Structure 1
Amino acid sequence: MDELAAARPLLLDVREPWEVQTASVTGAGYEVLALPMASIPARLRELDPERPVACLCHHGARSQRVAQFLDQQGFAHVANVAGGIDAWSLECDPAVPRY
Structure 2
Amino acid sequence: MFYQVRPNQMDSWLAQFAGQEQLPLVLDVREHWECDVVRLGQDARFEQVFIPMADIPARWHELDKERPVACLCHHGARSMRVAAYLVQQGFAHVANITGGIDAWAHECDPGIGHY
AA aligned opposite 2:87: D
| 1:19 equivalent in alignment to 2:17 | no
Match of 2:57 among 41, 53, 76: 41
TM-score, structure 1 length as denominator?
Answer: 0.93
Q: Secondary structure in 2 aligned to 1:28?
A: coil
Gap runs ≥5 in structure 1: none
- Please name the residue that 1:29 is paired with: 45
AA aligned opposite 1:7: Q
Could you give the per-residue CA deviations for residues 31-85 of structure 1, whole angstroms, max 9, x where no partner exists?
0000000001101110000000000000000000000000011000000000000
AA aligned opposite 1:23: V
- Please name the residue that 2:78 is paired with: 62
Gap runs ≥5 in structure 2: 1-19
TM-score, structure 2 length as denominator?
Answer: 0.80
State the identity %. Answer: 62
Calculate the aligned-residue CA RMSD, in Å.
1.5
- Please name the residue that 2:22 is paired with: 7
Higher relative contact order, structure no. (Cα contacts within 8 Å, ≥ 6 residues apart): 2
